[in-house]
Chain A
Amino acid sequence: MRKSTFLILSFLIVMSMVLAACAPAAVATPITITSAPQVVKETQVVTQVVPATPAPVPLTYARNETLYTSGTQWGPPSSWNPFNGGGYAMGTIGLVYETLYIYDPLADKFIPWLAAQDMKWVDPTTLEIKLRDGITWTDGTPLTADDVLFTYKLADPNGDFKAGLNFAGLYNFLSSIDKVDNLTVDFKFKANPAYQEVGFYLWQTPIVQAASWSKLDVKDITGGANENGIGSGPYLFESHDQDRQVLVRNDNWWGIKAFGKTPGPKRIVDIVNGSNNVALGLVLQGGLDLSNNFLPGVATLVKGGYGVQTYYPEAPYMLSANVAALIINEQIKPLDDVNFRKAMAYAINTDDIVQTAYTGIVKAADPTGLLPIWDKYVDQDMVAKYGWSYDPAKAKQILADAGYKDVNNDKFVENKDGSPIALEVTCPSGWTDWMASIQIISKNAQAVGINMTPAYPDYGPWRDAQLKGTFQLSIQNESQMSSTPWSYYKWVFQNPIANIATAQYGNYGRYDNPKAFDLVNQLNQVKVGDDAAIKAITSQLQEITLTEYPTIPLWYNGLWSQVSNAVWTNWPSSADSANHYLPASWRGYWNMTGIEMLLDLKPAAAQ
């Protein structure tokens, strides 16, 4: 038995050597096949004349033409439908389907994409969108005003489809969409439209082809897999398997002419993550060019000569993508007491979380919770007046002054009526960074006399408790960077309270403050770019968050991004000489300048 095993093994080893010797030759041949223009011609020929001959797709992708990414897909690719919000394959929106505008959060700028020019309000209630001339779908037909009209009308509650898509909110203030000419669409709004929200939808809504989508019924539009859909973007879906999604460059993409730039990689292979450990291994092996995984301890990789680069060369290494806040259930005692919440804010040692749980790769949050991209809206006087920092002595003092005393000598304070306090702070099981964070938070709370313990339910029940309002304390980071701070304040002050379970976006603690709700609506109605008005309104909102503590902003979760310069260079970074796009492949980030990063990528050898 053992003899035969050895025989088999040695045979395999010999085979391996033979094959390893063959391997470079096997790689070399396809390179000659894949010279770009040739492929395009041949695919066209194939579709028209001989369907029996498959397009010349190489068996092995040349390394210097391929970009390997990861950090977006956590299961086998299963949907290529741009309306399948959180579940579509990497790149569906941004690389395959495109939006009218893309948004640059670092420069706070809308960049016309399918649209030909900046957003133009003809009058206070009419937005005119002009499309670029010469954009084509991948089937060769032109992308026109009809497609834009069709896409936005999908969500019309009185239209043909009534599809519940995420831009359906537009219809709260939209009165009609009209085609002016083949390349022009007018959006007509009711009085006082929510300009901020409109802007938000313009860079988030993927435009789909009217000709092919109009044949689908509403179920397939919202829930179909759309496996061989026709897009307009710089990449096409090529193949997929259990552990990967492969995209190939669209060499007929309109942008090549319009921007004078061709996306660097011929192919993008997005790797499905089993775990972040595997991503770390792949980064070390040089098998990943862009990893958008959370890799704790990345500082040592950046400094240790592993060829790994992050956006900042120093702490915090990562751009800030969203704010992680302690969310508080304001419906229960003692969390309904503003003084108790205030004591918690002073009790938490955020720097310890940043250093211990995150090894310094995140930034402590501003007390306002506004992301660094919204620094210009932070009212510094207000922060100086009401802002807080870690101060356990003060936290104890606040509790004592508010009447929370330790009645039964268990070292923890009791409710004012003498009943014991036992709070639970939760995060999903397996989210190791958050688990470490809530351990620190509980320890900090206990140190000032608040009986708090961490708990780690599965993601499902954890999420359910927020929607139903049955949690006590938890961490949430749903509010991402976006074109408007309205999206952050909408998250903090989601209302009406009765709709929180269905709105599924913020205010899970059911904080009720009509004045704040009204201010959020006012903020929504500020014109895009009117920074003074935004500042005036957000300043009032900041006063509310700083004195009422509806949530306690703790740290900014990073735009996790580890890139390698081995094969591709010219990555975004904070350096003056570099570009400042977002180095991200996450859903919703290609249309926040991620795509521009691809246009600027250069093969390492060419430099």
Chain B
Amino acid sequence: MAKYFRRKLLIYLLTFIIAVTVDWCIPRFMPGNPVDLIISRAGLKGSAVSQMYTFYMQAFGLDQPIWKQYLNFWIAIFHGDLGTSIFLFPSPVTKVILGAVPYDLALLIPAILTSWFAGNNFGAFAARSKRLDNTLLPLGYILTGTPYMWLGIVLAWAFGIAWRIFPIAGGYSFAMRPALTLPFIWSLFQHWFLPFASLFIVQFGGWAIGMRNLIIYELEADYSHYLAALGAPKRLVRKYAFQNAMLPQLTGLALQLGVIVAGALATEVVFSYPGIGYLILQAIHNEDYFLLQGCFLFVVIGVLLANFIIDITYVIVDPRTRAGMQGGAS
């Protein structure tokens, strides 16, 4: 067991180092100089420009040699200092991200978990049920093929503008101050619902189809036929099929996480919902190295952490992994 986790941890550590390095590299290969952008926005003139230029280059540490910038980056990460945002100057990147991340977590965690559970259960339920297979599953295919952006726009238009059931922008009512009161919590929920729904619906379709196909495959497996031949009730057969079909779906969840994060970015932009999605978009447009790095770092850590949790879950739900580990240890 310990060996298994040691090996896993090593892999995660290596992935992390490589991801951080790539993260550091990408913005620096982008053409252009972000300091020029700030100064041009400030509308400075004449001698003021060169003065400001030096100031900002020093403030952002861009005047140092590349290797030193890389080293500084690692040192800073361990100090929790991700630099100063250029787009949101002079806010520290850590502060910007910490302000946005609660919204991301509140959106992503429920969307991922509920869609996974609901999708898998529905898929298992629909498999081999002619009527559902013929009617609802094509719908599932359409849903999972829907771009997050497009679905978001449709939902915003229908529920926000045409029927006016839900608000279409902001993290909570623009007329409210945050406070621990029921109206405020209700407002938070209302603003959260449509972004959540658009993420949920797309993912739900994907998981349902995946599960339905896996169940059919499992029901055709020898053990199912054998079980059925022994006279086991249909429910029992399906239960075993479901348990076996869960495993690839769990792996699928780990693989899908990155895609889902990207989906959240699109959703946040469509609903003008706070979060790092919109920040990443603006960071790219504004060549905000530090903000971009910070956001990606958050995404990398998040995805690695989630994968690690799934790894642990796998050990718990799949007895074979445990058996394999014991065999390896003896």
Q: Contact residues of A with B, CB < 8 Å?
A: 1-2, 5, 12, 15-16, 19, 22-23, 26, 57-61, 63, 66, 68, 74-76, 78-79, 84-87, 155, 157, 162, 164-166, 168-169, 172, 219, 222-225, 239, 241-244, 246, 269, 271-275, 277-278, 281-282, 284-285, 287, 428, 430, 458-461, 463-464, 467, 499, 501-505
Contacts and interface: CB of A to CB of B under 8 A. Distances in A.
A155 B89 contact: no
Contacts, number: 226
B271 A278 contact: yes
Nearest to A61: B175
B36 to A, nearest CB: 6
A502 B118 contact: no
Interface majority SS (helix, strand, loop, mixed), chain A: mixed
B34 A164 contact: no
B229 interface: no
Contacts of A23: 183, 186
A219 B60 CA distance: 13
Interface string B41-53: 1111111111111
Contact of A242 (B48, B100, B177, B184): B100
B46 A172 contact: yes
B205 to A, nearest CB: 15
Nearest to B177: A59
A381 to B, nearest CB: 34
B237 to A, nearest CB: 20
B30 interface: yes
B170 interface: yes
A86 to B, nearest CB: 3
B287 A460 contact: yes
B161 A285 contact: yes
A155 B274 CA distance: 37
Among B45, B181, B184: residue with most chain A CB under 10 A: B45
A463 B40 contact: yes
B174 interface: yes
B182 to A, nearest CB: 6
A135 to B, nearest CB: 27
Contact of A504 (B39, B88, B103, B278): B39
Given A78-B85, A78-B96, A87-B41, A19 B186 contact: yes
B121 A76 contact: no
B68 to A, nearest CB: 22
A503 B55 contact: no
30 contacts: A1-B118, A60-B176, A60-B177, A61-B175, A61-B176, A66-B175, A75-B278, A78-B89, A85-B41, A85-B43, A86-B41, A86-B43, A87-B42, A172-B46, A223-B55, A241-B171, A241-B274, A242-B100, A242-B171, A269-B175, A274-B269, A277-B153, A277-B270, A458-B30, A459-B285, A461-B32, A463-B40, A503-B49, A504-B39, A504-B49
Contact of B90 (A79, A499, A503): A79
Contacts of A15: 186
A505 B176 CA distance: 41
A244 B174 contact: yes
A78 B46 contact: no
Contact of B272 (A59, A60, A273): A273
Given A19-B183, A281-B160, A502 B53 contact: yes
Contacts of B44: 85, 164-166, 168, 504
Contacts of A461: 30-32
A15 B177 CA distance: 21
A271 B272 CA distance: 10
A165 B39 CA distance: 11
A460 B91 contact: no
B30 A164 contact: no
Interface in B7-62: 30-34, 36-53, 55-56, 59
A467 B164 CA distance: 46
A87 B89 contact: yes
Interface residues of B, number: 80
Contacts of B274: 76, 241-243
B210 to A, nearest CB: 16
B59 A223 contact: yes
- Closest A-B pairs by Cβ, 3 of them: A86-B41, A274-B272, A85-B42
B42 to A, nearest CB: 3
Interface string B270-299: 111110001100101111000000000000
B96 A76 contact: yes
A304 to B, nearest CB: 14
B282 A75 contact: yes
B243 interface: no
A141 to B, nearest CB: 26
Contacts of B31: 460-461, 464
Contacts of B45: 166, 168-169, 503-505
B279 A162 contact: no
Interface string B220-262: 0000000000000000000000000000000000000000000
Given A2-B122, A219-B55, A16 B43 contact: no
B269 A26 contact: no
Nearest to A273: B272
B114 interface: yes
B211 interface: no
A222 B100 CA distance: 26
B169 A157 contact: no
A463 B52 contact: no
Among A162, A243, A284: residue with most chain B CB under 10 A: A243
Contacts of A285: 160-161, 164, 167-168
A383 B167 CA distance: 51
A521 to B, nearest CB: 14
Contact of B46 (A169, A225, A271): A169
A495 to B, nearest CB: 12
Given A2-B121, A75-B279, A78-B89, A460 B32 contact: yes
Contact of A1 (B39, B40, B117): B117
Given A22-B183, A274-B268, A504-B44, A76 B177 contact: no
Contacts of B36: 463-464, 467, 501, 504
A225 B87 CA distance: 13
Given A75-B88, A242-B99, A271 B169 contact: yes
A19 B89 contact: no
Contact of B285 (A19, A282, A460): A460
B141 to A, nearest CB: 20
Contacts of B43: 85-86, 166, 504-505
Interface in B111-142: 114, 117-118, 121-122
Nearest to A459: B285
Contacts of B270: 274-275, 277-278
B184 to A, nearest CB: 7
B169 A243 contact: yes
A463 B32 contact: yes
B298 to A, nearest CB: 15
A166 B48 contact: yes
Given A23-B183, A78-B96, A282-B168, A155 B46 contact: no
A458 B283 CA distance: 11
Contacts of A274: 169, 268-273, 278
Given A26-B181, A75-B88, A86 B42 contact: yes
B174 A271 contact: yes
